[in-house]
Chains A and B, each alone.
Chain A
Amino acid sequence: MKQFLKKFHVTKRVFSYPYILFMLLFVIVPLVMIFAYAFMDNDHNFTFENFKIFFTSQSSLYVLGNSLFVGVVTTVICLVLGYPVAYILSKSKNSGKVMVLLFVLPMWVNFLIRTLATKAIFLAIGVELGMGTVLFGMVYNYLPFMILPLHTSICSIDKSYIEAAKDLGADGSTVFLKTILPLSKSGIMSGITMVFIPTISTFAISQLLSNGKIFLFGDSIELKFSQDMYGVGAVMSLVMLAFVLISSFVMNHYNKNSVSVGRSLW
């Protein structure tokens, strides 16, 4: 009894147990299951058939290409729109915080509701649903994820670097290109990852804003699981996972080598 009591320590470590349990149940176990399903047929026998079905089907590769296309275009548009916004926000001293709040505000509304509302607007003004509307919906939904990391990293740039550049005779554009842009690289990288990864795996936005005519990788995975093709669905999830890993690898690499303070929101 005494020995047992001695073991009953309430240390800091105890408080991490719920989280570890949560991770184990909802992250590790599902990952293992996806991995197992990828190598199983419907009768739970070992097979490579699922990989063959996915990699030999022309449509699934096309769907993947389509998703990557949407992902790249969305990311580029978000970056082009988001960088100037983040830059201006970080320059304005007092109103900046309120403005940032205004940009984050839409994130508090559920994305499904936002998307349905977007669809209703498009239908009301008579815009034909298709690739254009899907891209709009993606940019609309993921723009805050680009602005926030950019804003944080631009804000964290030491002002003396900019002053030094000016002292040494650099004009406005040179200061931006040679000082601010390189120093906000970590923000750009994390912004790109924050936008690119979710876009290639979305399925609801594309389904709603194109009436299912634009068929993305996420839609395809969803179809596989709803049609009892768990094996192929699992293989596709693994492919998705590979993309996530590559992207986070790239991001980590940049964050490590970055000269800036390395403070990033995400």
Chain B
Amino acid sequence: MASKRFIALVTLLVIVIFAFSVVLSACNNEGEQSIVETLVVYNWEDYIDESEETSRIDAFVEYYKAVTGRDINVVYSTFDTNETMMTKVLNNDANSVDLICPSEYAIQKLMANGRLANISDLVNEYKDVVPFQNLANGTMSNTEATFVNAINREFSSVSTGDGTGNMTDYMVPYMMGTIGILYNVKYVTAEDLASGWGMLWNASGSELLENKILVKDSVRDTYAAAVMYMREYGLLPAGYEDMPIADLINCTDDAMLDAAKNVLTAQREHISGYEVDFGKDDMLNEIVYVDLAWSGDALWAIEESYNEDEVYLNPRTGEYDNYMLDYYVPVDEDGNATGNIWFDGWVIPQNAPNKLAALMFIDFMNMPENAIYNSIYIGYTSAVSREKMMYTYVGTGGMFDLVDGEYVYSEGGAYTINEDVYSALVDSEYALSPEDNDGEYDFSFFEDDRRYPTETSQLGVMRDFGDRQKNAVTMWENAKTGADVPWALIWCSVAILGGGLIFVTFYFVKNTLKRKPRKIKTEE
């Protein structure tokens, strides 16, 4: 018997060892083929050009080989919300990641937890090892100037756990956008548009729009919209009326949250509901006519709504075109767009294994000719400055140099059209080639104020709500459940709870009463 068991055990051991050795040798083989470096990128879904022809990841692999002579394997993983990503990073479940692309408030939170490496220091460290195209001139050297100002205003002194730092040292902006209103030109009139952010409350009282409005199911975005609406219609609590927009949308004290709760509760009666990601589709299928949207999503939906066979009158421009949908950031009395501008930036975690490749990836994506491909592919606005995208400089002394947050024209360089960027625009039909356009270059892609808000826009960047996040979520939940206290419901639930409790106690009492006589019986 014992020998049988012994044989069984030995066979099992042999099989296990064999299996292990196969697996191990497979691993070794892979390593021997070539010493492949890896770069682990952790980004939003659909947030980089992954098309077959112009994939920017493949292009980076080639670029890396050309510069360093080494092969690199880019592992690309994605997340769907900042919260998912942060939970992973803060719980040390993402220690192999070299590069993340979170939103501004998530960057702030990661910085405060001391998780991010100082990119400016890293660039200085590696500057002599590899040539950087733009990072060598500073992390913001390619970024739109007005945008750098907005970042500096909110994030110039952010906690880094053991001190404070400027966020511009810790991240390089990748994409940016606004929140605004995506609407159907068939049902929305100029009068509705004039109601500004009130359109999400159907302030113009249009019968067509009642219950045909969707808003985002997200605390931060709806809060920003609510603040803008209150500002427009004088519903702000006393003493807050003169605050600039950038401060207003970052103010989450009780008075503001209370006021926002009231307007959001009122909004619930006018809207179709809260959407997570089906808003674009519902807009295209004409199930709803108005949607609170991010600019990139909106521009994508507008492209999709192109209809060759039909012409629509656009109430915003007063012109006829073939697009059923349009996007609009409401303007204040001076005609300046008001609202929230957000951005996502590249950051390198403190413990990233391959910091050099991460820096080169950032540098590569920040080159105008790559930024344009990403921007076209995903629909969002690249944070790379428009001037740098349109023009390229030859010779020494850059055409546009960033001095104190502004691009200053400097002599010494020669000014030419950036042909790479232009041909990308032509390929994706955003512009006609000069031959077909009387020799003219058409840069209307960069002049679209839905994509690039005008410089006078009153747009604020939103910081992390921090400790007030809980209060904001509670406010949001209050607003979503509605205003009227349904006493019938409350009594109903109290009755069920009470009934359950009475039953349980009754049962226990009955059991204890039952048990006693039995005990006496057994004793007898």
Q: How far is the CA of A162 from the CA of B84 in the complex (A)?
A: 60
Q: Give per-residue flags for B4-15: 1 if the beta carbon is below 8 A from chain A beta carbons, else 0.
A: 011001000000
Q: Please give me the residue from chain B that is nearest to A228 by CB atom.
A: B83
Q: How far is the CA of A69 from the CA of B503 in the complex (A)?
A: 20
Q: Chain B residues near A53 (CB, 8 Å)?
A: 470, 474
Instruction: Flag if B211 contacts A128 (CB, 8 Å).
Output: yes
Q: Chain B residues near A226 (CB, 8 Å)?
A: 81, 83
B214 interface hit (Cβ, 8 Å): yes
B23 interface hit (Cβ, 8 Å): no
Please report the total number of A residues contacting B with Cβ < 8 Å.
Answer: 39
Instruction: Flag if A213 contacts B492 (CB, 8 Å).
Output: no
If A62-B485, A63-B481, A68-B493 touch, whether A213 touches B273 (CB-CB below 8 Å) is yes
Instruction: Flag if B492 contacts A253 (CB, 8 Å).
Output: no
Additional 11 contacts, C-beta under 8 A, given A63-B481, A229-B469: A8-B5, A53-B474, A59-B474, A69-B492, A128-B211, A212-B275, A213-B268, A220-B477, A223-B476, A227-B219, A250-B503
13 contacts between A and B (CB under 8 A): A5-B5, A66-B481, A68-B496, A69-B489, A211-B214, A212-B217, A212-B273, A215-B480, A223-B473, A227-B83, A228-B86, A228-B87, A229-B473
A-binding residues in B (CB < 8 A): 2, 5-6, 9, 81, 83, 86-87, 211, 214, 217, 219, 268, 271-276, 287, 469-470, 473-474, 476-478, 480-481, 485-486, 489-490, 492-493, 496, 500, 503-504, 507
Q: Chain B residues near A198 (CB, 8 Å)?
A: none
Name the contact of A212 in the complex, choosing from B274, B490, B496 (C-beta under 8 A): B274
Q: Chain B residues near A228 (CB, 8 Å)?
A: 83, 86-87, 469
Q: Chain A residues near B489 (CB, 8 Å)?
A: 62, 65-66, 68-69
A263 interface hit (Cβ, 8 Å): no
Q: Chain A residues near B273 (CB, 8 Å)?
A: 129, 210-213
A23 interface hit (Cβ, 8 Å): no
Q: Give per-residue flags for A14-54: 1 if the beta carbon is below 8 A from chain B beta carbons, else 0.
A: 00000000000000000000000000000000000000010
Name the contact of A65 in the complex, choosing from B5, B214, B287, B490 (C-beta under 8 A): B490
Name the contact of A227 in the complex, choosing from B276, B473, B486, B507 (C-beta under 8 A): B473
Q: Please give me the residue from chain B that is nearest to A64 by CB atom.
A: B493
Q: What's the minimum C-beta distance from A65 to chain B, rounded to whole angstroms?
A: 4
Q: What's the minimum C-beta distance from A3 to chain B, rounded to whole angstroms?
A: 11
Q: Chain A residues near B274 (CB, 8 Å)?
A: 211-213
Q: Please give me the residue from chain B that is nearest to A232 by CB atom.
A: B470
Q: Chain B residues near A5 (CB, 8 Å)?
A: 2, 5-6, 9
Q: How far is the CA of A49 from the CA of B507 in the complex (A)?
A: 33
Name the contact of B477 in the complex, choosing from A2, A63, A128, A250 (C-beta under 8 A): A63
Instruction: Flag if A246 contacts B500 (CB, 8 Å).
Output: yes
If A2-B2, A228-B83 touch, whether A212 touches B480 (CB-CB below 8 Å) is yes
Q: How far is the CA of A63 from the CA of B87 in the complex (A)?
A: 27
Q: What is the interface of chain A mostly: helix, strand, loop, or mixed? A: helix
Q: Chain A residues near B476 (CB, 8 Å)?
A: 223
Q: Please give me the residue from chain A that is nearest to B473 by CB atom.
A: A227
Q: What is the interface of chain B mostly: helix, strand, loop, or mixed? A: helix
Instruction: Flag if B477 contacts A59 (CB, 8 Å).
Output: yes
Instruction: Flag if B272 contacts A129 (CB, 8 Å).
Output: yes
Instruction: Flag if A215 contacts B83 (CB, 8 Å).
Output: no
Instruction: Flag if A8 contacts B473 (CB, 8 Å).
Output: no
Instruction: Flag if B477 contacts A65 (CB, 8 Å).
Output: no
Q: Chain A residues near B504 (CB, 8 Å)?
A: 246, 249
Q: How far is the CA of A8 from the CA of B480 in the complex (A)?
A: 60
Inter-chain CB contacts under 8 Å: number: 97
Instruction: Flag if A211 contacts B474 (CB, 8 Å).
Output: no
Q: Chain A residues near B217 (CB, 8 Å)?
A: 212
Instruction: Flag if B492 contacts A62 (CB, 8 Å).
Output: no
Q: How far is the CA of A212 from the CA of B480 in the complex (A)?
A: 8
Q: Chain B residues near A68 (CB, 8 Å)?
A: 489, 492-493, 496
Instruction: Flag if A65 contacts B492 (CB, 8 Å).
Output: yes
If A65-B490, A66-B489, A211-B274 touch, whether A123 touches B478 (CB-CB below 8 Å) is no
Q: Chain B residues near A211 (CB, 8 Å)?
A: 214, 272-275
Q: How far is the CA of A238 from the CA of B237 in the complex (A)?
A: 38
Q: How far is the CA of A210 from the CA of B6 in the complex (A)?
A: 64
Q: Give per-residue flags for A58-76: 1 if the beta carbon is below 8 A from chain B beta carbons, else 0.
A: 1111111110110010000
Which of A211, A227, A253 has most chain B Cβ within 10 Å? A211
Q: What's the minimum C-beta distance from A76 to chain B, rounded to whole angstroms?
A: 12
Q: Chain A residues near B9 (CB, 8 Å)?
A: 5, 8
Q: How far is the CA of A163 from the CA of B470 in the complex (A)?
A: 64
Q: How far is the CA of A242 from the CA of B238 in the complex (A)?
A: 45
Q: Chain B residues near A94 (CB, 8 Å)?
A: none
Q: Chain A residues near B492 (CB, 8 Å)?
A: 65, 68-69, 72
Q: Please give me the residue from chain B that is nearest to A61 by CB atom.
A: B490
Instruction: Flag if A58 contacts B490 (CB, 8 Å).
Output: no
Q: Give per-residue flags for A93-115: 1 if the beta carbon is below 8 A from chain B beta carbons, else 0.
A: 00000000000000000000000
Q: Chain A residues near B496 (CB, 8 Å)?
A: 68, 72
Q: What's the minimum C-beta distance from B9 to chain A, rounded to whole angstroms?
A: 7
Q: Please give me the residue from chain B that is nearest to A50 by CB atom.
A: B470
Instruction: Flag if B481 contacts A215 (CB, 8 Å).
Output: yes
Q: Please give me the residue from chain B that is nearest to A65 by CB atom.
A: B493
Q: What's the minimum C-beta distance from A138 to chain B, rounded to whole angstroms?
A: 16
Q: How far is the CA of A128 from the CA of B271 in the complex (A)?
A: 11
Q: How far is the CA of A8 from the CA of B87 in the complex (A)?
A: 43
Q: How far is the CA of A250 from the CA of B211 in the complex (A)?
A: 43
Q: How far is the CA of A232 from the CA of B470 in the complex (A)?
A: 10
Q: Please give me the residue from chain A that is nearest to B4 by CB atom.
A: A5
Q: Chain A residues near B86 (CB, 8 Å)?
A: 228
Q: How far is the CA of A226 from the CA of B217 in the complex (A)?
A: 12
Instruction: Flag if B2 contacts A59 (CB, 8 Å).
Output: no
Q: Give per-residue flags for A200-225: 1 if the beta carbon is below 8 A from chain B beta carbons, else 0.
A: 00000000001111010000100110
A160 interface hit (Cβ, 8 Å): no
Q: How far is the CA of A226 from the CA of B211 in the complex (A)?
A: 27
Q: How far is the CA of A249 from the CA of B273 in the complex (A)?
A: 38
For window 109-166 of A, CB contacts with B under 8 Å fall at: 123, 128-129
A11 interface hit (Cβ, 8 Å): no
Name the contact of A62 in the complex, choosing from B5, B211, B214, B481 (C-beta under 8 A): B481
Q: How far is the CA of A166 from the CA of B298 in the complex (A)?
A: 71
If A62-B485, A129-B272 touch, whether A215 touches B2 (CB-CB below 8 Å) is no
Q: Chain A residues near B287 (CB, 8 Å)?
A: 123
Q: Chain B residues near A224 (CB, 8 Å)?
A: 473
Q: What's the minimum C-beta distance from A101 to chain B, rounded to whole angstroms?
A: 34
A92 interface hit (Cβ, 8 Å): no
For the complex of A and B, the 7 pairs showing the least CB-CB separation, nearest first, are A211-B273, A212-B274, A65-B493, A68-B493, A59-B478, A65-B489, A246-B500
A57 interface hit (Cβ, 8 Å): yes
Q: Chain B residues near A232 (CB, 8 Å)?
A: 470
Q: What's the minimum C-beta distance from B441 to chain A, rounded to whole angstroms?
A: 45
Q: Chain A residues near B486 (CB, 8 Å)?
A: 62, 65-66
